[in-house]
Structure 1
């Protein structure tokens, strides 16, 4: 049995995927170094009401402290 809260309307799923694709494209243009998964988590946190500017500050701090092989590196920005 599938719970109703976990089922997404196909049209809503398509719209969400297109929105994430657009956000990821903009992220790449801006050379943020964020991979698609990290970006989707950040968008979800914003949707839950977290302050986007505070999240951006945290991401910048993590990128500054992170070694090059972490998920924030631009080499992992492409998801298969």
Structure 2
């Protein structure tokens, strides 16, 4: 395996582990969303500010849909 392949495999494994943790914590983030959040944090975005933005966007989306932000049935719609 080349150095580049090794780094790519390590990145995939790291994201897999982060996704498992995310799922255990019921964050509601899919792999793509989680990957984007990780990339933003790696580029210097404050993680707490990012979490606040995600929560606010969920609240606004729920208000538009007329559901509670933590309503699991709302995500299926």
TM-score, normalised on structure 1?
0.72
Structure 2 residue runs of 5 or longer lacking an equivalent are: 66-73
Structure 1 residue runs of 5 or longer lacking an equivalent are: 1-7, 76-80
Bigger-Rg structure (1/2): 2
Runs of 4+ aligned residues of structure 1 deviating over 3 Å after TM superposition are none
Matched residues, number: 64
Q: More helix by proportion, 1 or 2?
A: 2
Root-mean-square deviation (CA, aligned residues, Å) is: 1.9
The structure, 1 or 2, with the larger RCO (C-alpha pairs under 8 Å, 6+ apart) is: 1
